[in-house]
Structure 1
């Protein structure tokens, strides 16, 4: 195991979202969070680098104080594009964290937190989500799993032979665009706007209208059809034992699952078990911390 970490040592897991940071101290032996303590704080994704890093470090310091820990290893679940091995942000053109572009985040945080650089590891957020679910959640015990996260973007990951990796399928060509442009919050919002002529702020609004709004119901049906196409490609490529679905839009699963499952059954010869994520946002936290438990 990396850096001779012990089974009972607490490791901080951090999930960096498009507009927030979430952190918790994880016991890798049990998958439990220390004191059940989770800190979530908003981040101005358009701020300068110093402001963003100061916010991140504030959360880290506050969590150490809240859990009685003076220092720890830290595993980050980070959105891409990102040089995970070196800790360098490559995020540009995504309306978030532009100020961090080409900055060595590992070195910057190492200096600010007075931690050895090797105590800071980074991995893809979808990969972290799936590893958390494989070791501690809905996919526990499965040797070959795939996972997706449905939210502001489309995340995809593969776990096989003890290794979890980013599948990088959000850029698959689809209808002249990328599949992520359809299977994401913006895809669902676009469906609804094209059907109703109304622009709404988030997917929750559409979900709340389904019962009495034919446009909302149709928006989810179209979303499910696009997701069916994507999952067909993913499942037939991998032939996994289990598929784990997470992310904010997954909370509306009953609104599009029937057509999706029917569509997949008609075109996939070997269907995996399909389950909802069991850990919520804790999956990425545990998967981030689990960087230090990988062989």
Structure 2
């Protein structure tokens, strides 16, 4: 990372005690510019997959990305005076164009496009999402996963927001796919079970569910290979409820105890409590 003031010209900068020449900055002024249209297309999952790229918005999220990751391109507003990441290309834009290509309500001064990280080679724990829709919830869970030191990855069964959505990446402070690997989406619970069966272990995963047969998170065994969290409104899907009956030795139903008139907890809060309980028993924190 380096700092510059961006006045009349881009200054030389010092990184790792080596002096680099001034990188080229290309001004962009038209909303129909192909680069800006390409960035906008990356808001959609199909285009992120097609181009193997994703967006990180904002200085705070970008600053959390390791220097070993080099951005394909970086865009900043004309009067930006903060830090820039290592990037292959740099573009400056007026605020009105930056607002068109970002998802924030206020103008974000900095945006970078990075290559999608490869799936993790291995992980000792999986967070399996099943219908989580709110980017803030998923981003917060990714940060929690990183904080618990569970050597975790994340995957999805069914619908829901995925980790490389710009809003999720921003909520995770840039940890999506970097500190917490992304294994991808399973077509259904049968495929998930086949992959787990092939791992060669007698696997068990916790399923967060409000069910009369579920046990408190504080009493269930937590030396498990994963945690399944359902959607904010309906919880886990009906197919998983059926699999819990078919394979009760693999799916352990649990809940977070509540008192008073509280009907349910936010999935990010409930998931965080479960993850820290698992990490505590595994001894990772």
State the TM-score, normalized to the length of structure 2.
0.30
Which structure's relative contact order is higher, taking Cα pairs within 8 Å and 6+ residues apart?
1
- Larger helix proportion of the pair: 1
